Amino acid sequence: MYNAASLKAEEFISDEEIRETLAYADANKENVELIDAIIAKARERKGLNHREASVLLACEIPEKLEEIYALAEQIKQDFYGNRIVLFAPLYLSNYCVNGCLYCPYHLKNKHIARKKLTQEEIVKEVTALQDMGHKRLAIEAGEDPVNNPIEYILECINTIYSIKHKNGAIRRVNVNIAATTVENYRKLKEAGIGTYILFQETYHKESYEKLHPTGPKHNYAYHTEAMDRAMEGGIDDVGLGVLFGLELYRYEFAGLLMHAEHLEAVHGVGPHTISVPRVKHADDIDPSAFDNGISDDIFAKLCALIRISVPYTGMIISTRESQEVRERVLPLGVSQISGASKTSVGGYAEPETEEEVTSAQFDVSDQRTLDEVVNWLMKLGYLPSFCTACYREGRTGDRFMELCKNMQILNCCHPNALLTLKEYLLDYASEETREIGEAMIERELARIPNPKARETATEHLKRIGEGKRDFRF
Ligand code: SAM
């Protein structure tokens, strides 16, 4: 029944295969010989399949875990270097016809404030985001064919790209909206989106149906097969994710990797990103109502194992996580984080007060400003990047993966990070952040291996200093 190349959800995410995988992992969690062989395979940087990775997830031998963490750090260094790409979510509308039990946007919630941004309000939100220094957004919306039809989403994308406030610009819009049709995915592609992101929430079909009792999202197959339709519609950067806390994490982890293997088998390219959200408190949502919450230790283990299992897939951590947790998982393989996020509709231009009826999707743990996040990253030795070059240069799907596989990041992504950081420092940073950043750019410039690339980057940096913007490799 299990078939990674099938286009049927229940065949490429086979419940039977996951159960057998978990039994195999349990039976082998102390099998040091096998564990060593799996770690040795991961060391070759070719990734692991769901069975192999599940054995490592089940393994609790301290020395082996140390090896896994060290390897995750090494792979992250080799493929991504010290860059961390920054983005912000932009909530367009919280009208929703679904009944998701973990989300306060569910239809029956009558005490949340329902809002939908007008195009004028989008101008205000995006201006506020540009004034912070953001260049990359992930737009979010509830599912509501009447209030948020695809035409509304397309109009919003158009507006977002058209706004140019001072030196600001949004250069990449990623989209996190409900599963839709091939035709709509094609329209999103034509509107110039970056990644299409859709969280599976849970790969466990029975739980999925219970957690989504009503609305179009109830349909497990339609949701699970969405990425295939997105790819058919021409979108070749897709982002997967599981909402950890809903189901057993080991089940979800196997499902997530099977989904990645499926995309590779059918489309020849794996997911562009994987997100690892955990259920958070929200308006009428109490995370303790779900039995499968995971500890920070397990969370870190999952991040490290994702890194070594799919080395070419970016990993995203949102502000659902605290500064402390983010600091812990950054070295284990995270490549993108959000900063200064607001999860309410209209929250950037007009932050909601404590007294107001909220429109937010969940509570944000990391509440720092973008300047504080940039400053903190640099103090930890990370290079904050506002780069959006790849998809604008047509490096999507397997073309981006090639860059990563050929370890060309230091000659391409690294200089792009320096150029966009320079723009940020000149246009938006506090004095202290600017000082730290200028020193960092000096140091990092010397690390570009190719002399020609280093020379070009130096020249571009000079031009940025003279007021020019938007150079890229
Ligand atoms: N409505 C779209 C959909 O169904 O995919 C868009 C996604 S929604 C705006 C973004 C994601 O937030 C959801 O996919 C879900 O995983 C996550 N989310 C919902 N409620 C949450 C909560 N209480 N805590 C943390 N994340 C939550």
Mean pLDDT by groups of 10 residues along the chain of 473 residues? 97 98 98 98 96 98 98 94 97 98 97 96 98 98 98 98 98 98 98 98 98 98 98 97 98 98 97 97 94 97 98 96 98 97 96 90 95 98 96 89 80 94 98 98 95 96 98 94
Q: What is the pLDDT of residue 350?
A: 92
- The pLDDT value recorded for residue 398 is 87
**Measuring from atom 4 of ligand 1, which residue has the nearest CA?**
178
pLDDT of residue 169: 98
HSE-CB at 460 with a 13 A cutoff on CA atoms is 22
Look-up: residue for tokens 């600091």?
A: 327
Q: How far is 398 from 438, CA to CA, in rounded Å?
A: 34
Please tell me the distance from the alpha carbon of residue 298 to that of residue 249, in angstroms, as a whole number.
Answer: 9
Q: How far is CA 98 from the centre of its chain?
A: 23
Please give the helix or strand (H or E) that residue 116 lies within, else none.
none
DSSP 334-365: --EEE-S---STTTTTSPPPTTSPP--SS--S
pLDDT at 354: 84
Residues 348 and 88: their CA atoms lie apart, in Å, by 10
Alpha-carbon distance values, 62 to 31, 67, 69 (Å)? 14, 9, 11
Q: How far, CA to CA in Å, does 353 sit from each of 140, 344, 360, 374?
A: 21, 11, 12, 26
Cα–Cα distance list, 221 to 157, 179, 229, 264, 367 (Å): 28, 10, 12, 19, 36
Q: If you take atom 11 of ligand 1, which residue's CA is the nearest one?
A: 199
Give the closest residue to 235 by CA, choosing from 171, 172, 187.
Answer: 187
Q: 215: CA distance to ligand 1 center in Å?
A: 15
The alpha carbon of 130 and the centre of ligand 1 are apart by a number of angstroms equal to: 24
Amino acid at 108: K
Structural tokens at position 178? 């409900």
d(Cα 108, Cα 468) in Å, to the nearest integer? Answer: 51
**Residue 410 has what pLDDT?**
80
- Phi and psi, residue 93, nearest 5°: -160, 140
CA of 103 to the centre of ligand 1 (A): 6
Amino acid at 34: L
Q: Strands 172-176 and 273-275, how do they pair?
A: unpaired
Distance 61 CA to ligand 1 centre (A): 34
**Nearest atom, ligand 1, residue 96 CA:** 1
Residues with CB under 6 Å of ligand 1 are 102-103, 140, 142-143, 176-178, 198-199, 201, 217, 243, 277, 279-280, 282, 285, 320, 361-362
Whole-angstrom distance, CA of residue 242 vs CA of residue 323: 21
> Looking at residue 92, what is its pLDDT?
98
**Atom 5, ligand 1: which residue's CA is nearest?**
178
State how far the Cα of 54 lies from the Cα of 85, in Å rounded to an integer. 28
Q: How far apart are CA 374 and CA 377, in angstroms?
A: 5
In this predicted structure, what is the pLDDT of residue 293? 96
The CATH T-level fold of domain 80-367 is: TIM Barrel (3.20.20)
Nearest CA, atom 21, ligand 1: 103
Best residue among 91, 100, 103 to mutate for probing ligand 1, ranked by most atoms within 8 Å of CB: 103
SS3 of residue 238 by DSSP: strand
Q: What is the pLDDT of residue 436?
A: 98
The end-to-end CA distance of the chain, in Å, is 46
Task: Supply the DSSP symbol for 415.
Answer: H
Distance 323 CA to ligand 1 centre (A): 21
Backbone angles phi, psi at 144, to 5 degrees: -160, 100
What is the pLDDT, as a whole number, of residue 411?
86
Model pTM above 0.85 = yes
Domain boundaries, the chain: 9-76, 80-367, 406-465
What local confidence, expressed as pLDDT, does residue 272 receive?
96
